[in-house]
Structures are given as C-alpha cells and as structure tokens.
C-alpha cells in the first residue's frame, strides 16, 4: 500500500477506524477485523478512550498482541469517559495516557490526539502536559480533533520553543460534508499539518450500499436515529446517487470515488474508514487506487459542491 507522512510517522493511505470495537463488535469479531486489516497492509489504527466505553482500546490491544511494532497506533482523550474522566487538564492527561497505555498493552502511543477542545483549560497548559509525555517517550506525536481553524491557530501559537506541537487535525470530512475546505484545510496547509478525515464514507452512505428509496439495513449505523437524521436525508441521498452514477460511468464504484477523492488532497495522509467485517476492510483497501484527474475533480465539485 502507498504510504504518506503524518508528522514523523509513515502511514498507509487507508487506515482502520476502530469506533465499532466494543460497541457493535465483540472481541472475536474485533480480532477478525484487525487481522484482516493487518493482512491487507493497513498500518494506521485509530481509536479513542471513549469508543465502546473503553473496550475499543482493550480489544485492539489484545488483537495486536505480537504485532504492535508493525503498526501506527493512534488514540484520543478528552471526551467524557465518565463524570470525572474528561477534559484536557494536565493532571487528567497524565492519568488518561496511563489508562490508554494499559488498555492498549503498549509502552507508547504513536499519535495521541485531544478529542475536542476543552474551553475550561488554556491550550498552552494542555500542550505543555503533552510535551512532557513526548519527552518521557510515552507519546511520539500529538494531534487534535474537532478543532476550528481559529483553535488550530491558537494552539500553534501557544507552543513553547522546542516543545511538541500538533502535527494533525482530525475532523469530519467527506463528499457529503465539505465544510473543512472553507477554513480548516487551508489552515492545515499554511501550518504544514496533516488532516485526517473522520466519517469519510458518511457513516456508510458513500459505500454504494444504499439506494435513494430503500431504508437503511436494520443493524447498520445509518439505521441509528442520529445517523438517519444527519446522513440519510433527501439532499445527501441525491448527491450520493449522482456520485454513484458518475463513478459507474468511469468503470468505478462510489466507494472508490469517496476514498480516491479524499486522497486527492495532499494534506490527507490516510483515510481511516471503519469496518465491521473482514470483507469491508478488504473493500476499503481495494478502493484506494483511483487517482482522479483535474477534470474529474471539477465534475465532482459540480455534483457535490462545498456550499449549496
């Protein structure tokens, strides 16, 4: 698989999002997905302490036993695990990283990401605590998630000379949700930050499995109330169907278009797509081969514009 830089790390252009582990998948199902990802050449595994009520980290750590050194392990902290385990205070960061290291069965985290801004804690204090973790060898690189362009700039300006700084921003981005192009992606380009898209397949809408009229399969993510309202609406269905027709006219699939379009952006090192089966893992990896031409990108812009 082609690889790209993410800070000082090298990652494959397709990664595995692990938010299904411990929530929709039990351990044995998680293990089969993780091993399929490893066999397919995936190197970046992205999880968070809150996924599956901490079980995602636990299951992933178990499933990677004996193969930890072959992967880039990314996790996140900051969203509420419970009433007391949350935020970005230095004392909590020290606790959170040790908890994640224990669950992941490792001695270091390759990319440790602040899952969301913490308005109660100055970003300079958070960054100083994360720098301590980097200097102690517990963390290799640090990143952020769900940050606005202004917050990215503030964090960049708050770093002390010689200290660790965010190397990546992980925000929602897909053919259905192009809002990062308005401010965050340009800011990443200006500062030399990697941009990691989450929900790259719009919770499954861009896999080609859903028609404009059919309801979402009963146990799919799009069958969940929040996803139905957010992704499975008339506007998004129309765009997905038209994009699917465009891909088909090129002898490609909607999945190939969704992943290939994202990889046309130089700031994106890897598309971290979730999977609930080995078959989905292999499909995601196999979809990464389309490199769209300028004309094709322009046609996609007309079908799925940044603004409507």
Catalytic residues: 51
SS3 label, residue 15:
strand
- Please tell me what DSSP assigns to residue 165: -
Please name the residue that has the structure tokens 């302490």: 49
Distance CA 201, CA 207 (A): 6
- Side by side, which strands form the sheet with 72-77? 194-198, 166-172, 139-145, 109-114, 72-77, 44-46, 14-17, 271-274
Q: Given the DSSP bridges, would you call strands 194-198 and 166-172 parallel, antiparallel or unpaired?
A: parallel
SS3 string, 173-202, reads: CCCCCCHHHHCHHHHHHHHCCEEEEECCCH
């Amino acid at each position: 698989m082609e690889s790209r830089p993410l800070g000082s790390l090298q990652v494959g252009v397709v990664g595995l999002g692990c938010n299904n582990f411990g929530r929709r998948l039990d351990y044995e199902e998680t293990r089969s997905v993780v091993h399929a990802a490893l066999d397919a050449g995936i190197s970046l595994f992205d999880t968070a302490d809150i996924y599956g009520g901490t079980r995602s980290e636990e299951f992933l750590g178990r499933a990677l036993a004996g193969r930890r050194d072959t992967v880039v392990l990314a996790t996140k902290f900051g969203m509420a695990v419970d009433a007391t385990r949350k935020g970005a205070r230095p004392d909590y960061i020290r606790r959170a990283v040790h908890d994640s290291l224990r669950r992941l069965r490792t001695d270091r985290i390759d990319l440790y990401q602040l899952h969301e801004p913490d308005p109660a804690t100055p970003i300079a204090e958070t960054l100083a605590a994360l720098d301590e973790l980097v200097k102690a060898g517990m963390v290799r690189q640090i990143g952020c998630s769900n940050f606005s362009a202004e917050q990215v700039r503030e964090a960049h300006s708050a770093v002390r000379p010689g200290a660790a700084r965010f190397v990546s921003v992980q925000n929602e981005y897909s053919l259905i949700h192009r809002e990062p192009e308005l401010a965050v992606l340009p800011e990443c380009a200006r500062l030399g930050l990697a941009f990691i898209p989450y929900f790259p397949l719009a919770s499954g809408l861009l896999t080609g499995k859903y028609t404009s009229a059919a309801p979402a399969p009963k146990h799919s993510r799009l069958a969940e109330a929040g996803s139905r309202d957010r992704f499975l609406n008339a506007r998004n269905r129309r765009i997905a169907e038209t994009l699917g027709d465009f891909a088909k006219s090129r002898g490609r699939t909607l999945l190939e278009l969704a992943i290939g379009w994202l990889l046309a952006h130089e700031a994106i090192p890897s598309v971290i797509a979730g999977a609930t089966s080995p078959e989905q893992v292999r499909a995601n990896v196999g979809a990464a081969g389309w490199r769209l031409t300028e004309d094709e990108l322009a046609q996609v812009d007309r079908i799925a514009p940044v603004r409507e």
